[in-house]
C-alpha cells in the first residue's frame, strides 16, 4: 500500500495504527479500515468472557495497548522488556532474554513473575505463572508477526480466563487479508547480532487467509561470552477462516531460542561492570557430580536459558440469529525450558585466602599460574532440565437482553512439569570475564565441590476447572454496573526425589477450591471521557514448587498455600482522536505470600499491602509529534511477618517514570522519525529486611527511522545511550553479599527492512 507522507496524513496513520486492536477476533481484519474524518473506536478483548470484546472507552478497568509500530520504537530486547511500557509493572530484565523478574502493583515476590499470565490470542500459554527457573515470558519471543499487545492489571482478571489476580498480557498475531503483504528485515549490532525476520500474509481462497513469519538470529551476546551464546529461530503460522456468522482461527508457533543466563556480579571489584559475564570459553564445559554416588555428568553451560517447543491453538467465534454468541479458545504448549548457568555463591575474595598453599593456584583450562592477589569467587555450575506441557480451553456463551448482557463460561487447564536439577557444584573461579576454574584448591577438586548440592528429580501434574459468569446492566444511559463470579477447583499431584537416590521423599495429593468475584461501575461523562470504580478478590493457586518449598505447611494446612488478593481501583479515562489517557488509583492486599531465597531455607510467609496511582498517556498531534508517558507511584508495606512487619516490599521502587517522545518529519523528500525514551526509577530495597539498598537510576534510549524510498526503512536504535550502570537486583540467594545485576550496557542496533 502506498503512503503519502504529509504531516496530516501521518497523524491519521498513527491513530489508525494505535487502533489496530479494533480488529475483533470475530471480525475480518479488513473491518479495521476507518475513514480519517471519524473517531476511531478501540476494542479490547482482555477482561471479557472468552475474549468477546468491549469498547475501550466503555471498559470499567484500565488496559494498556501497545501496537506493532510502538514495539518497533521501544526495541525490547526480550518479551519482559516490553512490559516496562505498562504502568504498575516493575520489570528486571537484565538476566537475558529468559528468566525475567516481573512485579505488579506492589504485590510481594522474591523473583520470577508469580502474578503474570502471558496469553496468545487470548489463551494462556502456560497456566502456572511461575515455577522455579521458569516464568511465562521465557516461553515467548517477540517478532514481526505480532500485531498488538494488551496488558490488564487487576480489573476482571480474577474471574475470567486463567483467573490471574495480577497482570495478564495478551499478544495478538497479525492476520492475512485480501491484499498480499510482506516484510523482510535484516538486523545487526555493535555486539555482532545477526538476525533476519520475514513475514508474508494474504488470501488462500475466498474468506480463507494466512500469515506466516519468523526469524533466525545469532550473536555472542550483549555481554560478550566469547562464543555464540545467543542463537535461535522461530516460525509462526496463523490461518483465519471467515464464516457467514463468525470465524475460525488456528495458529502454531515453533520456537528454539537460547541465550546466556546473566547473573549478579561483584559490585566491589575493579573491572567488573555491566559488560561482565561469568560465562566464557574457558568454563562453559564442566563436569558436575550428582546423587549419593557422585555420578559424573558432562554439561555445556553455554546452552544458557531458553525455550525449545511450540505454542499452538485456535478459536471459533459464532453469532446466532437469536442473539446468542458462542466462543471457544484453546491452546497447547509443549517443550523444554532448560536453565544452565554460573551462579555466584557469596562474596568475592582473593586467591591467597582460599589456595591450598595460601599463595597461588593454576588454571584448570590453561595451566596459567595466578598469584595470591587474584580476585576469585565461588561459582556454582547449575543445571535445571525442565520438560513442560499444558492444555487450556475456554468456552463461553453470551447474550444481550436490552439493557442487560450476560455471559457464562467454562475454563479448564491441565499443566505438567518434569524436572531434573543439580544446584551447587560450586568451585572457585578467577574473577574475570569468562574466568576459568582453579586447581590447587581442595574443594574445587572434590566431587562434593565447595558448597552444598541440591539435586532433585520431580514430576507434577495439575488440573484446574472453573465455571464463571459475568453480567452487565445499564442503570442509565451513562451509568453501567457489572459483576462476575468464578468458582475454581484446583488439584495437584506431585512427587519429588530429593538427592537423586531413587527414593521419593515428598508426595502431594492436593485438591482445593475457591470463589473469586469482581464488581465495577462505569460512568460516561461524555463520548470521550469517563470514570470507573472496581473491587475484586482473586486467588493464586499453588503449583509444584509451592509444595516442595513449603512441604511442612502443606501437611499442616494446605489451604494456606493459596494467596488471597483483594484489590480496589478508581480510574479516569479520556479517549479522543489524538489522546488516550488513563489515571488509576489502586490499593491491594495479598495474604499468604511465601518467599524462599534458595532451596533448604525456610519460607517466609507474609501479608503485603500496597496503594498507588498509575498514569498511562498517549498523545498524537497532526504536526507529527507524539508522546507516551507511563508513571507509577506506589507505597508498599509488609503488614504480617515473623520478622519484617512494617518493612517495604523488596525490589520494588516507590516511583518510576517512562517518557517516549517521537517526531515525524520529512528531509530531502524522505520520511523520517526521531524518537527516544527516558526511564527513571527510585531506590529499592534488595531484601524484605530492608537492609540492602539498590540505588535508583536514569536511562536514555535514542532511535532514528528513515524511509529513503517506498517500502525501504532504515532504523538505528541506541539503548542506554549514556551507558548508565544501574542495578536491577542484589543477590537473591545471598542478600548481604555485595553482588548485584547491572542493567544492560550501551548497545547500538541497525536494521534494514523492505515492506510491500
* pLDDT tens track for 356-370: 999 999 999 999 999
- Residue owning grid cell 479490547: 44
Cβ neighbourhood burial of 506 (10 Å; 0-12, 13-18, 19+) = middle
Q: Is residue 1 part of a domain?
A: no
What's the pLDDT tens digit per position in 495-530? 999 999 999 999 999 999 999 999 999 999 999 999
Strands (E), 351-450: 361-362, 369-370, 375-401, 404-423, 426-430
Can you tell me the mean pLDDT for 105-134?
94
What's the pLDDT tens digit per position in 366-397? 999 999 999 999 999 999 999 999 999 999 99
One DSSP character per residue, 109-136 reads -SSS-TTEEEEETTEES-SSSEETTEEG
Half-sphere exposure (CA, 13 Å, Cβ side) for 342? 32
Q: Round to whole Å and give the CA distance between 656 and 92.
A: 13
Answer whether 217's CB lies under 8 Å from 230's CB: yes
Can you tell me the mean pLDDT for 290-308?
95
pLDDT of 23 higher than 90: no
52: pLDDT confidence band, cut at 50, 70 and 90? confident
Nearest residue to 615 via CA among 584, 586, 587, 636: 584
Can you tell me the mean pLDDT for 704-731?
96
Q: Round to whole Å and give the CA distance between 518 and 568.
A: 10
pLDDT of 598 higher than 80: no
Nearest residue to 728 via CA among 93, 76, 79: 93
Return the percentage of the chain with pLDDT > 70, whole number.
Answer: 93
The three grid cell numbers given for residue 30, joined into one nine-digit string: 479488513
What is the average pLDDT score of the chain?
91
Q: Is residue 486 part of a domain?
A: yes
Q: What is the CATH number of the domain that holds 186?
A: 2.40.170.20
Type and span of the H or E element at 179: none
The three grid cell numbers given for residue 238, joined into one nine-digit string: 496463523
DSSP assignment letter at 270: T
Number of domains the chain contains: 1
Helix, strand, or coil (residue 410): strand
What's the pLDDT tens digit per position in 641-657? 888 999 999 999 999 99
Answer whether 611's CB lies under 8 Å from 589's CB: no
Answer whether 80's CB lies under 8 Å from 91's CB: yes
Q: Round to whole Å and give the CA distance between 341 and 391.
A: 30
Cβ neighbourhood burial of 189 (10 Å; 0-12, 13-18, 19+) = middle
Nearest residue to 39 via CA among 577, 620, 622: 577
Q: Where are the alpha helices (DSSP H) in 454-590?
A: 544-549, 551-557
Among 4-8, 79-83, 254-258, the least confident range: 4-8
The residue range of the domain holding 688 is 7-755
Q: Is residue 746 part of a domain?
A: yes
pLDDT of 595 higher than 70: no
Can you tell me the mean pLDDT for 262-274?
94
Can you tell me the mean pLDDT for 184-203?
98
Q: Round to whole Å and give the CA distance between 112 and 108.
A: 11
Q: Round to whole Å and give the CA distance between 462 and 495.
A: 12
What's the pLDDT tens digit per position in 473-489? 999 999 999 999 999 99
Looking at the DSSP assignment, which residues form a beta bridge with residue 392? 331, 413
Q: Is residue 371 part of a domain?
A: yes
- Residue owning grid cell 555466584: 344
602: pLDDT confidence band, cut at 50, 70 and 90? low
- pLDDT on residue 564: 96
Q: Is residue 726 part of a domain?
A: yes
Residue 113 has phi, psi (to 5 degrees) of -145, 70
604: pLDDT confidence band, cut at 50, 70 and 90? confident
Q: Round to whole Å and give the CA distance between 600 and 235.
A: 40
- pLDDT on residue 183: 98
Q: Round to whole Å and give the CA distance between 518 and 159.
A: 7
Write the CA distances from 271 to 253, 268, 281, 432, 659, integer angstroms.
Answer: 42, 9, 19, 8, 32
What's the pLDDT tens digit per position in 274-289? 999 999 999 999 999 9
pLDDT of 187 higher than 90: yes
What's the pLDDT tens digit per position in 671-682? 999 999 999 999
Write the CA distances from 166 to 43, 186, 244, 629, integer angstroms.
Answer: 21, 36, 37, 22
pLDDT of 252 higher than 90: yes
pTM: 0.92
- pLDDT on residue 27: 36
Helix, strand, or coil (residue 32): helix
pLDDT of 14 higher than 80: no
Residue 415 has phi, psi (to 5 degrees) of -135, 135
Cβ neighbourhood burial of 402 (10 Å; 0-12, 13-18, 19+) = exposed
Q: Is residue 229 part of a domain?
A: yes
Q: Is residue 377 part of a domain?
A: yes
What's the pLDDT tens digit per position in 142-170? 999 999 999 999 999 999 999 999 999 99
Write the CA distances from 465 to 316, 423, 488, 531, 699, integer angstroms.
Answer: 20, 34, 6, 34, 44
- pLDDT on residue 140: 97
pLDDT of 26 higher than 70: no
pLDDT of 115 higher than 90: yes
- Residue owning grid cell 436490552: 402
597: pLDDT confidence band, cut at 50, 70 and 90? low
pLDDT of 558 higher than 70: yes
Q: Is residue 2 part of a domain?
A: no
- pLDDT on residue 451: 83
Pairing of strands 167-173, 116-120: parallel
Amino acid at each position: 500500500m502506498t503512503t503519502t507522507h504529509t504531516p496530516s496524513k501521518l497523524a491519521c496513520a498513527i491513530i489508525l495504527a494505535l487502533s489496530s486492536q479494533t480488529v475483533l477476533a470475530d471480525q475480518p481484519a479488513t473491518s479495521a479500515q476507518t475513514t480519517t474524518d471519524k473517531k476511531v473506536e478501540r476494542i479490547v478483548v482482555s477482561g471479557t468472557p472468552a475474549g468477546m470484546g468491549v469498547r475501550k472507552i466503555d471498559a470499567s478497568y484500565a488496559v494498556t495497548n501497545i501496537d506493532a509500530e510502538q514495539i518497533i520504537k521501544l526495541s525490547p530486547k526480550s518479551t519482559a522488556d516490553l512490559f516496562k511500557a505498562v504502568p504498575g509493572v516493575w520489570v528486571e530484565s537484565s538476566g537475558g532474554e529468559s528468566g525475567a523478574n516481573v512485579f505488579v502493583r506492589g504485590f510481594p515476590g522474591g523473583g520470577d513473575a508469580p502474578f503474570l499470565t502471558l496469553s496468545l490470542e487470548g489463551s494462556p500459554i502456560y497456566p502456572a505463572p511461575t515455577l522455579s527457573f521458569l516464568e511465562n515470558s521465557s516461553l515467548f519471543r517477540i517478532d514481526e508477526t505480532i500485531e498488538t499487545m494488551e496488558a490488564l492489571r487487576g480489573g476482571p482478571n480474577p474471574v475470567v480466563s486463567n483467573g490471574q489476580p495480577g497482570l495478564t498480557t495478551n499478544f495478538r498475531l497479525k492476520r492475512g487479508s485480501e491484499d498480499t503483504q510482506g516484510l523482510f528485515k535484516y538486523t545487526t549490532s555493535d555486539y555482532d547480532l545477526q538476525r533476519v525476520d520475514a513475514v508474508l500474509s494474504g488470501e488462500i481462497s475466498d474468506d480463507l487467509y494466512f500469515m506466516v513469519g519468523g526469524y533466525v538470529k545469532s550473536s555472542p551476546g550483549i555481554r560478550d561470552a566469547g562464543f555464540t551464546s545467543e542463537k535461535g529461530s522461530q516460525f509462526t503460522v496463523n490461518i483465519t477462516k471467515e464464516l457467514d456468522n463468525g470465524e475460525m482461527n488456528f495458529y502454531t508457533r515453533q520456537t528454539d531460542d537460547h541465550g546466556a543466563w546473566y547473573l549478579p556480579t561483584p559490585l566491589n571489584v575493579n573491572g567488573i561492570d555491566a559488560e561482565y559475564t561469568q560465562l566464557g570459553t574457558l568454563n562453559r564445559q564442566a563436569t558436575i557430580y550428582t546423587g549419593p554416588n557422585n555420578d559424573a555428568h558432562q554439561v555445556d553451560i553455554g546452552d544458557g536459558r531458553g525455550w525449545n517447543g511450540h505454542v499452538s491453538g485456535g478459536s471459533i467465534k459464532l453469532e446466532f440469529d437469536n442473539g446468542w454468541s458462542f466462543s471457544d479458545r484453546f491452546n497447547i504448549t509443549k517443550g523444554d525450558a532448560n536453565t544452565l548457568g554460573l551462579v555466584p555463591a557469596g562474596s568475592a575474595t582473593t586467591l591467597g585466602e582460599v589456595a591450598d598453599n595460601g599463595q597461588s593456584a593454576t588454571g584448570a583450562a590453561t595451566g596459567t599460574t595466578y598469584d595470591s592477589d587474584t580476585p576469585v569467587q565461588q561459582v556454582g555450575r547449575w543445571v535445571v532440565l525442565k520438560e513442560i506441557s499444558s492444555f487450556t480451553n475456554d468456552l463461553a456463551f453470551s447474550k444481550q437482553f436490552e439493557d442487560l448482557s450476560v455471559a457464562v463460561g467454562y475454563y479448564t487447564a491441565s499443566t505438567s512439569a518434569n524436572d531434573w536439577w543439580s544446584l551447587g557444584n560450586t568451585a572457585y573461579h578467577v574473577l574475570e570475564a569468562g574466568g576459568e576454574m582453579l586447581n590447587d584448591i581442595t574443594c574445587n577438586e572434590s566431587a562434593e565441590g565447595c558448597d552444598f548440592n541440591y539435586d532433585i528429580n520431580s514430576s507434577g501434574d495439575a488440573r484446574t476447572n472453573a465455571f464463571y459468569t459475568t453480567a452487565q446492566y445499564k442503570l442509565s444511559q451513562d451509568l453501567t454496573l457489572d459483576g462476575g463470579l468464578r468458582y475454581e477447583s484446583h488439584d495437584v499431584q506431585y512427587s519429588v526425589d530429593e538427592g537423586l537416590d531413587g527414593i521419593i521423599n515428598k508426595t502431594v495429593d492436593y485438591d482445593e477450591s475457591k470463589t473469586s468475584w469482581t464488581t465495577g461501575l462505569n460512568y460516561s461523562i461524555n463520548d470521550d471521557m469517563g470514570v470507573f470504580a472496581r473491587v475484586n478478590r482473586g486467588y493464586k493457586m499453588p503449583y509444584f514448587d509451592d509444595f516442595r518449598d513449603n512441604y511442612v505447611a502443606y501437611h499442616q494446612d494446605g489451604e494456606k498455600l493459596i494467596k488471597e488478593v483483594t484489590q480496589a481501583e478508581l480510574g479516569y479515562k479520556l479517549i479522543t482522536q489524538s489522546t488516550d489517557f488513563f489515571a488509576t488509583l489502586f490499593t491491594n492486599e495479598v495474604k499468604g505470600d511465601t518467599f524462599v531465597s534458595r532451596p533448604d531455607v525456610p519460607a517466609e510467609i507474609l501479608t503485603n499491602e500496597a496503594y498507588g496511582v498509575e498514569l498511562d498517556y498517549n498523545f498524537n498531534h497532526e504536526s507529527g509529534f507524539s508522546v507516551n508517558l507511563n508513571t507509577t507511584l506506589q507505597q508498599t508495606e509488609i503488614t504480617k511477618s515473623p520478622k519484617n512487619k512494617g518493612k517495604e516490599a523488596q525490589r520494588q521502587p516507590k516511583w518510576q517514570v517512562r517518557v517516549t517522545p517521537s517526531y515525524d518529519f520529512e528531509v530531502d523528500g524522505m520520511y523520517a522519525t526521531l524518537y527516544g525514551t527516558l526511564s527513571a526509577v527510585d531506590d529499592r530495597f534488595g531484601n524484605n529486611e530492608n537492609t540492602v539498598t539498590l540505588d535508583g537510576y536514569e536511562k536514555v534510549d535514542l532511535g532514528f527511522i528513515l524511509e529513503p524510498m517506498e517500502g525501504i526503512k532504515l532504523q538505528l536504535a541506541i539503548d542506554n545511550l549514556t551507558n548508565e550502570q544501574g542495578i536491577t537486583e542484589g543477590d537473591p540467594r545471598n542478600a548481604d553479599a555485595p553482588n548485584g545485576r547491572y542493567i544492560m550496557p550501551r548497545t547500538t542496533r541497525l536494521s534494514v527492512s523492505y515492506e510491500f
